[in-house]
A and B are shown apart, each in its own frame.
Chain A
Amino acid sequence: MARQSGEGRRRALLIAPSILMIGLFMLVPVGIMAAISFMERGSGGGVNWGSFTTEPYLQFLFERDLDDSLLLNTDYLQIFFRSIWLAALTTALTLAVGLPTALFMALQPERRRNLLIFLVTIPFWTNLLVRNYAWILLLRNNGLIDQVLMGLGLRSEPIGVLYTTFSIAVGLAYTFMPFMVLPIYASLEKLDWRLVEAAYDLGADRWRALRRVVVPLAMPGIAAGCILVFIPCLGAFVTPELLGGGKALMIGNLIQSQFGAARNWPFGAALSMALLAAVLLAMMFYLWRYRRAPGAV
């Protein structure tokens, strides 16, 4: 009995550092943000400590008319949904490229796989800004891609893809690709390829074996990859700024500007809380689906 509790204490000690980390560096800041989101804005930035108001949340959905009545204002909601759309598009792009990549890697001989994992992580080594500027050079009018296409005679004018939602998605997809490839690779690497053989044996061609056996069994990795890409994309602000040319405001840019130029911390905090709530809802949906999914049918 004594040994048991000693064991338990030792285990508690093992986990103590991470609990301390999460408590100190996650829960406390989030708590501060939550508190700020209910305060009045200070005149020169910051907040009036101790005040209480729900105004920042009202500001998200409404604007005040001259007579102080609330009018529905969808500007911020639009930004919100545009960001969700961008994150979804980026996730779809990374999935479309990442799944075949991970499949290819998993099918390579053992020796070559480590090299490929290493290659996948190379983009991480370069500064985010440098990578984004590199994409600007590639995508801009008469940039490298245009020059190649026009040089080959495939197009007579620039494709004009820079500073669009698509160029933001491409830049984000590039940045977050490893987050998609590595979890999928991890689940494919564990896959029993004899199951694919069994599928072939029972009359499934390659496409159907992929769809009916490989993808369902790689689903934990695919789902993890999607979450790991979708969530940071939702709050991204550097890439939308640079590759979007600041034309389309994303939620990340909006939050950043509220803490910066607009000096409206409470509103920025309220937006962050809304974003956090959206992410948590998505996660809960995933967990709820996932607990039922395996073995359903």
Chain B
Amino acid sequence: MKDWAIEARGLTKRFGTGADTVTALDRVSVTIRENEFFTLLGPSGCGKTTLLRLIAGFELPSEGKLLLHGQRIENLPPFRRPVNTVFQSYALFPHLSVLRNVAFGPEMQRRPKAEIEAEARRMLELVRLEGFERRLPRELSGGQQQRVALARALAGRPRVLLLDEPLSALDLKLRREMQIELKRLQHETGITFVFVTHDQEEALTMSDRIAVMSGGRILQIGTPTEIYEQPTSRFVADFIGETNFLDAHCEQVAEGRAQFRLSSGDLVQGLAIPGLMSGSEVTLAVRPERLDLLADGQPGIPATMQDLLYIGNDTVCTVALADGTELQVRVQNRHGAIHASAPGSAVRVGVEPQAVRVVGD
């Protein structure tokens, strides 16, 4: 219990009144461990930023409890919470120098003057911005401003650091750099990071755990591998990575395995999930890279090649099953373009049971 940095129980946030009420957050319960890199992932409007703002204290919850290291904080104003935020827009004070920006938090905590200065300089060193102390925010590049925002948020020595899509304004190369930088900072400071993003790749590479959100709810919480390999819902499977969805009829369930009949009439083997009953109609999720493209005549589901998309390291093939159901198959270009069967030619699709997952709606 004690090593939970943040614990939310039944957190609900409604905006507006009467008929205009919008529920931005719907009974969200989540626990975030100390020193964890925790990511809230979802499309815009899913409630991830609202949850972050509730933790920061910019909004007060309509219902529910919020605990920080075991202490109730849901009704504290932001300046009484040991939580700092890195804003999407950075929100650097334009009238203050880089050093004064970073020193703002320690100053507000009324720490001794010498300590404030030393702390600010140490933080600038941590984000590798020595020598920029006297500059104004507007004299810095986007990436440098980002670092100042980080240093400023960390200088207050928060228990939890909230990051609201902090990398979305950076170009790809800089973003990659900052991703590594953020991981390093989290490692060096030992502070719990709560990171908000709509970028699934960013979430997968950086997080210890991810909460996937949609419509004000958390759909699934898990490690990046769990979220990617074992999505429990159609939304999660669809939002993270590419996925084929297939309507199927469960023929039989035995010993953790199940047999499904696809709408095309073909049979596939897959993993059973708890509660799966034979005779039920289900949706199967299969990642394109977990499928194999085989030559006609080999064991597999018969299909017709429709389209080939060469994307460098891989080729994404679209094939059609007997009833016209389309499937994406992603093949590595390991031996040159050997899979370049012409559109219209007959192929087989190999499906391994571990790749087939039943997902809820």
Contact = CB atoms under 8 A, between A and B. Distances in A.
B156 A202 contact: yes
A27 B302 CA distance: 94
Interface residues of A, number: 21
Interface in A274-297: 294-295, 297
Q: B-side binding surface: helix, strand, loop or mixed?
A: loop
Contacts of A201: 56-58, 78-79, 83-85, 153
A217 B57 CA distance: 24
Nearest to A196: B91
Interface in B75-98: 77-79, 83-85, 87, 89, 91-97
Contacts of A217: 94-95
User: Which of under 10, 10 to 19, 20 to 34, or 35 or more describes the interface residues of B?
Assistant: 20 to 34
Interface in A187-244: 192, 194-195, 197-205, 208, 212-213, 216-217, 219
B126 to A, nearest CB: 17
B108 interface: yes
Contact of A203 (B58, B87, B92, B109): B109
Nearest to B77: A200
A199 B77 CA distance: 12
**What does DSSP make chain A's interface, helix, strand, loop or mixed?**
helix
Contacts of A192: 89, 91
B97 A202 contact: no
A295 B153 CA distance: 21
Contact of B58 (A197, A212, A213): A197
A216 B84 contact: no
Given A205-B79, A295-B136, A198 B96 contact: no
B51 to A, nearest CB: 16
B105 interface: yes
Contact of A202 (B58, B95, B104, B136): B104
Contacts of B33: none
A197 B95 contact: no
B108 A198 contact: no
A199 B58 contact: no
B93 A204 contact: no
Interface string B105-121: 10011000000000000
Nearest to A202: B105
A204 B79 contact: yes
B91 A203 contact: no
B100 interface: yes
Nearest to B56: A201
B100 A199 contact: no
B203 to A, nearest CB: 23
Contacts of B136: 295
B87 A198 contact: yes
Contacts of B93: 195, 198-199, 213
B152 interface: yes
Interface string B122-160: 000000000000001000000000000000110010000
Given A213-B93, A217-B95, A200 B100 contact: no
Given A216-B95, A217-B95, A295-B136, A200 B78 contact: yes
B22 to A, nearest CB: 17
A295 B91 contact: no
Nearest to A213: B93
Interface in B150-199: 152-153, 156
A213 B94 CA distance: 9
B91 A204 contact: no
Contacts of B83: 201
Given A197-B91, A202-B153, A297-B96, 14 more contacts: A192-B89, A198-B93, A199-B93, A199-B108, A200-B77, A201-B83, A202-B84, A202-B104, A202-B105, A202-B152, A203-B105, A203-B109, A294-B95, A295-B97
18 contacts: A197-B58, A197-B87, A199-B93, A199-B108, A200-B78, A200-B79, A201-B58, A202-B153, A203-B105, A203-B156, A204-B108, A205-B77, A208-B108, A216-B95, A217-B94, A219-B95, A295-B97, A295-B136
